[in-house]
């Protein structure tokens, strides 16, 4: 049995979302902090991701390494992820021993140890991770496109940060970032699984209620003006394959246009999952770009990417170039398909199919206890839990007229960055 979620806030500002699900003796605990690469500045890019790594280095109560063994021993899992707008930590455990999740998360919210030795060890790890990414063509292309798409907003930087910043960020920089953002008033605790709400609330109050709220945070972020014209970036690097990324400035997740763009994405490239922890999927073989470019042997693959973000971000179309064609030919073929959307009204039947696919992928993304807990917190990072509750209803309200208007507004060449990746000596070039 699944009950409606219980939503509350502790006196110290900690938001708490609880959802009883008695289908299995499992409890999934997630702590979300409203901090990600969006909250960084040049010189300290990548600091949020680095802090996430440091949160696994232990406290006096929970020394590093002990929890790995204990959680694995009972069949549990735990992990973390830093993204554009947020950082999250989770544990999915057998219900009878889940209390360790609460104790751990409350303790490392305030007692994590940032020893100089561990900071330097992790510096090496993260720089190695960055250098590994630099061997991946799609990372190099995405970074170049992202950097060209924004002039002021921190969304222009990859979550992992710039290598020159990773080399100079200090222990004190990390600890200051941790103390500023890791506080109850900037956090959300989301728990789903086999428990009784009244008992869980008592445990949460006892474990988290004594933590001071911390100082008020100024979240002021510089927003970018419209692109005002197409930009192009050319990237050369390792490999034998060429790629194209077309990134359009896109609305934030709380903008009604986001839902129409979701349907348009499903129509063009196939549905995109919003849950990076989700499971399952649907085919994109009925999408317009797949049929025109992949079946037409112009590209080897195509997929779209539309992220739910707090501020306006990007809708990207990503393509692997067929060896018999050039990146420019791939771009021309995509433009032809976009022009078809603009010139010929999308049929109601097409929209119904696209909505059906998007709904199916959305259902896959919420099919187990961990994913239910994920959505309890994730939707609050850019809007509210009602965004999740009403998601399918919003999709059902999409009409051919809305699709045309959204395509005219966002899929405009003046609203995009086009990135070409070709094998060769490494260098970047930007036009526009």
Q: HEC profile for 92-145?
A: EEEHHHCHHHHHHHHHHHHCCCCCHHHHHHHHHHHHHHHHHHCCCHHHHHHHHH
Is the separation of the CB atoms in 203 and 80 below 8 Å? no
Is 1's pLDDT higher than 60? no
CATH code, domain with 244:
3.30.830.10
User: Domain limits at 186?
Assistant: 6-208
The percentage of residues in the chain with a pLDDT greater than 70, rounded to a whole number, is: 97
Asked whether residue 220 is assigned to any structural domain, the reply reads: no
More confident residue, 255 or 222: 255
Mean pLDDT of 235-250: 96
pLDDT in tens, 292-301: 999 999 999 9
Assess whether 39 and 151 both reside in one domain: yes
Q: What is the dihedral of CA 220, 226, 230, 232, to 10 degrees?
A: -10
Assess whether 159 and 289 both reside in one domain: no
Within a 13 Å sphere around the CA of 242, how many CA atoms are in the beta-carbon half?
19
What is the per-residue pLDDT for 122? Answer: 97
Neighbouring CB atoms inside 10 A of 222's CB total: 9
Is 270's pLDDT higher than 70? yes
Instruction: State the angle between helix axes of 327-343 and 257-269 in degrees (0 to 180), rounded to the nearest 10.
Output: 120
Assess whether 201 and 316 both reside in one domain: no
Mean pLDDT of 286-306: 95
Is 281's pLDDT higher than 60? no
Assess whether 247 and 201 both reside in one domain: no
Is the separation of the CB atoms in 89 and 55 below 8 Å? yes
Mean pLDDT of 80-105: 96
Mean pLDDT of 34-62: 96
Highest mean pLDDT among 94-98, 231-235, 421-425: 231-235
- Least confident span in 164-173, 290-299, 322-331, 418-427: 418-427
pLDDT band at residue 277 using 50, 70 and 90 as cut-offs: low
Average pLDDT, the chain: 93
What is the per-residue pLDDT for 283? Answer: 66
Asked whether residue 1 is assigned to any structural domain, the reply reads: no
Asked whether residue 40 is assigned to any structural domain, the reply reads: yes
Helix (H) or strand (E) holding 359: helix 348-364
Assess whether 273 and 191 both reside in one domain: no
What is the per-residue pLDDT for 388? Answer: 92
Assess whether 357 and 388 both reside in one domain: yes
Mean pLDDT of 186-212: 97
Asked whether residue 214 is assigned to any structural domain, the reply reads: no
Is 2's pLDDT higher than 70? no
Is 30's pLDDT higher than 90? yes
Q: In 3-state terms, what secondary structure has residue 58? A: strand
Mean pLDDT of 59-84: 88
User: How much is the CA Rg of the chain, to the nearest whole Å?
Assistant: 22
Q: How many independent structural domains does the chain possess?
A: 2
Assess whether 80 and 171 both reside in one domain: yes
Q: Tell me the two tokens of residue 419.
A: 């990135």
pLDDT band at residue 70 using 50, 70 and 90 as cut-offs: confident
Is 360's pLDDT higher than 90? no
The percentage of residues in the chain with a pLDDT greater than 90, rounded to a whole number, is: 80
pLDDT band at residue 345 using 50, 70 and 90 as cut-offs: confident
Assess whether 242 and 324 both reside in one domain: yes
Is 230's pLDDT higher than 70? yes
What is the per-residue pLDDT for 278? Answer: 56
């Amino acid at each position: 049995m699944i009950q409606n979620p219980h939503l509350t806030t502790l006196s110290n500002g900690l938001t708490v979302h609880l959802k009883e699900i008695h289908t299995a003796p499992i409890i999934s605990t997630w702590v979300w902090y409203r901090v990600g690469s969006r909250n960084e500045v040049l010189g300290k890019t990548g600091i949020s991701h680095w802090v996430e790594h440091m949160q696994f280095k232990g406290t006096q109560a929970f020394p590093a390494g002990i929890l790995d063994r204990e959680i694995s021993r009972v069949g549990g899992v735990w992990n973390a992820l830093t993204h554009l707008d947020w950082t999250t930590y989770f544990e999915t455990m057998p219900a009878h021993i889940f209390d360790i999740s609460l104790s751990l998360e409350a303790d490392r919210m305030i007692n994590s140890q940032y020893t100089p030795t561990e900071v330097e060890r992790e510096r090496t790890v993260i720089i190695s991770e960055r250098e590994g990414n630099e061997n991946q063509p799609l990372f190099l292309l995405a970074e170049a496109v992202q950097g060209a798409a924004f002039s002021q907003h921190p969304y222009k930087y990859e979550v992992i940060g710039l290598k020159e910043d990773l080399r100079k960020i200090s222990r004190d920089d990390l600890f200051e970032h941790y103390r500023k953002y890791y506080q109850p008033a900037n956090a959300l605790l989301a728990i789903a699984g086999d428990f009784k709400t009244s008992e869980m609330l008592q445990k949460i109050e006892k474990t988290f209620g004594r933590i001071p709220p911390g100082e008020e945070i100024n979240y002021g972020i510089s927003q970018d003006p419209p692109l005002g014209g197409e930009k192009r970036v050319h990237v050369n690097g390792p490999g034998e394959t060429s790629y194209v990324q077309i990134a359009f400035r896109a609305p934030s997740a709380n903008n009604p246009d986001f839902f129409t763009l979701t349907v348009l994405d499903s129509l063009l490239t196939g549905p995109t999952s919003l849950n990076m922890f989700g499971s399952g999927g649907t085919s994109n073989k009925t999408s317009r770009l797949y049929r025109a470019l992949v079946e037409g042997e112009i590209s080897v693959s195509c997929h779209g990417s539309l992220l739910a973000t707090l501020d306006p971000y990007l809708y990207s179309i990503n393509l692997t170039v067929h060896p018999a064609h050039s990146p420019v030919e791939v771009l021309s073929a995509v433009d032809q398909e976009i022009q078809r959307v603009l010139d010929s009204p999308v049929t109601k039947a097409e929209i119904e199919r696209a909505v059906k696919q998007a709904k199916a992928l959305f259902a896959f993304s919420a099919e187990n206890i961990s994913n239910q807990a994920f959505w309890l917190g994730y939707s609050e990072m850019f809007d509210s839990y009602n965004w999740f509750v009403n998601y399918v209803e919003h999709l059902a309200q999409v009409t051919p007229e809305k699709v045309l208007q959204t395509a005219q507004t966002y899929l405009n060449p003046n609203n995009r960055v086009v990135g070409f990746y070709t094998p060769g000596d490494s260098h970047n070039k930007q036009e526009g």
